[in-house]
Structure formats: C-alpha cells, structure tokens
Homo-oligomer: A and B are copies of this chain.
C-alpha cells in the first residue's frame, strides 16, 4: 500500500469508502464489463451483431468474476488491461458469443466509459458534500453574524469585523463552485466510443447511433466526436476539484491560525493527541485541509500536461492521467469530507475573540478614529494625530483612543469610538446577501 489513499492506516482518513470503492480494481472491472455488456445489447438491437447475441453476452457477463491480478501481465504489456480482459471474457462466453464482444470498440472506449460511469456517481457524492458543507457554513455564519472579532491583514491587527463575515467569505467560493459543477457536468459526463481512431469505422454508417444508444444505456451524454486525445473536460473537472480543495484549504488555514495557543479563538472537539506531550490538542483536521489543497494544486497543474496529446492516441498521456487522476479525485472528495468534519467539530471561543480585540488597546480603531476626526479636521491632520496616538499607546500600554483624546483638540464621542462593534460597516448586510445567494 504505497499510497496514502490505499494504506490501511491512512485510507479511512483520505479516501473514504464511498469514493475509494469506486476506484477499486473490482469496481473498475465491473464497470468495464458493464460497458461491454451494454455495447453488445445496443449493437444487437441495431442489428450490427446477430439478434440474441446482445442478451446472450449480457447475461453471461453478469456471472463472470475477474480477478484483477489476471489482468496485470496484460496491462504491463499492452499499456491498458482491455485486450486481456476482452480475451478472458470472450473465452468464458458460450458458443461463438465471444466473437461479438467488444465489437468495433477500442480499448480506450471501454476504459473511459467505465470511468465515466463511476465519475457520475462520484459527482453526485461531491454535489451532496458541497451542499452539506454549504449548509454547515450557512448555519455557522448565521450563528456568528454578530460575533465581533479582530480582522487581520498580513497577520496584523487591522479593523474589527465579525466572525460571520469571515465564514461568509469561506462560503462564497463554495457557492460559486456549486454553480461551476452544474456547468461542467454535462460536458464531463460523456460516453467514449470512437473506435481506434475516432471514425467508428467498424460500425459502418451506424456509428453515431450506437454512440447515442450506448450513452443512453449508461446514463451519460453521447459524444459526437470521441475525446480520446481531447481531455479538456477531464482537466476542467480536475481544476474544479483543486479549486474546491483550495477554497476549503483557506478555511483550514484560517482555523489553524485561530487555533494557535496565542490566539485560541477556536479549538476542535476532537483535537489530536501527542505521543509525549499530555497537554496537546492538535488541530489535525485543519492541517489536513491545507495539505490537501496544496496536493491538489500540484496534481491539477500536472494534469494540464495531459492536454498536450499526440495524434489519435497518446500512450504517455494516458498513463500520466492514470498516475494523477484517481488520487486527485480522492483528495478533492476528502477535502470536502474533512471540511465537513472540521466545521462540525470546531468550537468557537467568542469571549477570546473579544479579548483579542481588546488586547489591541484600541489600535484597531485607528482608521475609525481617523475618519471620525476627519469630520472636524483635515484627514491628513487626522491621520497624523492618530499615528501619534498609536505610538503613544504602544509605548504606554494604555488605550489608543485615550491617548488620542489627550492630544486631539476635537469634540468627538470618544466612548463610542472605543467600541469595535460600532465600526463594522455593512458587514451584516453583506452577510445577509451572501446567505441569500446560497
């Protein structure tokens, strides 16, 4: 078990059953057999192979069990396992039915269509997960619509904000991702059937009819033009996975920063333990989100090289895709699953949020003070005097607004300037609109 997605230690974290099973050898073989079966049924129906051969093949295939290891030698030699599989299946078909198996198809037709049948199920799972995560983030946003906290830019105390605005920020790219998924699915969920070079030559004039009926049988869209060496739809899906993982990685990154001992604004109900430090409760789930985001970024980048194919079939691109694609799908799906787990187990420490805001000693109200003072003196002067007050506050450790009151010759409601909740702009309105957009 070389891969983190397959090891018995790690797979349950990074490749949950729902997804991993669809990438199992048996699932792949089952899907390939199903494609061959449907192909025979369609062709018998259209009179391309003898009537009766369709159901004969289809019924016989149902009971054939193929041990994946039987295909290993063939894979090594041929670069894909279909020639071996077809041979092995044909031998077990009754009478001369084996002659009508895989009629006019090329290996990649079977591999790709079998992949798509499973991708369709995966996309449904992904859709469900993104909905669930959106739902959790909606609820979190509503809960913290008024939870005042420190806004931070470049790691430095900036202005007050509310936690609900931060979570609305997490929400918004996911809402767009949902829309993007909707847009790409019809392009992605397409059957592959072109024959060796995309002409469907062995099917005579009925090629596109077979393509359409096979697509219908597999519940996929037909493909006028075969996409053996045009993988833009696959790459688009990979990019979608990576952007999803990236958007969730941002959540993880924010949570890691908020979980730091010195910040302590959030913690996890099931924090990880240490083998030597009894006090530890580690934000492991958030670590995972960041790692998955960076992993997907790299894999999606590499996948784009798969676009630069040669002619009607490119062996090296086909293998490169096999090296990258399954892990990327698992990682994207894991990012959603762990994102859900993360939001489900996060504990928000509102009082610490308030404390961290207070600990800035009013420095975060510097902009507010500047704009308030601008009502009575010029903004340039206001900025100057506020800067001085900031310096004084940092030196003295007292509240910046108090320092400002001392040096600013202006009538201002100093008390209300001390309250961060008075300087939240249209945060609430923005949150409302983001929630409405979900």
Contacts and interface: CB of A to CB of B under 8 A. Distances in A.
19 contacts: A1-B68, A4-B322, A78-B273, A96-B378, A110-B275, A153-B280, A153-B311, A156-B259, A158-B312, A166-B311, A195-B425, A243-B304, A253-B310, A254-B311, A279-B390, A291-B319, A291-B323, A296-B304, A327-B327
B199 A153 contact: no
Interface stretch (A57-65, A129-137, A365-373): A365-373
A315 interface: yes
A146 interface: no
Interface string A376-408: 001110010011001000000000100000000
Nearest to A24: B1
A25 B318 CA distance: 29
Given A9-B81, A272-B79, A308 B287 contact: no
Contact of A294 (B11, B153, B316): B316
A383 B280 CA distance: 12
A426 to B, nearest CB: 4
A348 to B, nearest CB: 15
| Copies assembled | 4
A370 B202 CA distance: 9
With most chain B CB atoms within 10 A of its CB, the pick from A28, A246, A276, A281 is A276
A82 B275 CA distance: 7
A18 interface: no
Contacts of A257: 155, 260, 310-311
Contacts of A165: 197-199
The majority secondary structure among interface residues of chain A is: helix
Given A201-B423, A323-B4, A427-B199, A98 B158 contact: no
A247 B153 CA distance: 24
B307 A320 contact: no
Interface in A13-32: 13-15, 20, 23-25, 28
A300 interface: yes
A172 interface: yes
B308 A250 contact: yes
Given A5-B2, A278-B390, A225 B151 contact: no
B310 A254 contact: yes
A319 B322 CA distance: 22
Contact of A301 (B158, B160, B298, B310): B298
Contacts of A351: none
A288 B273 contact: no
Contacts of A336: none
A79 B284 contact: yes
Interface string A168-199: 11001100110010010001000000011111
Given A7-B68, A276-B196, A225 B430 contact: yes
Contacts of A114: none
A154 B282 contact: yes
Contacts of A157: 261, 279
A364 B155 contact: no
Given A160-B197, A198-B427, A288-B319, 18 more contacts: A3-B5, A5-B6, A78-B282, A79-B154, A79-B272, A79-B287, A151-B311, A154-B315, A155-B283, A160-B199, A173-B230, A195-B425, A207-B429, A208-B433, A250-B307, A252-B316, A294-B316, A295-B323
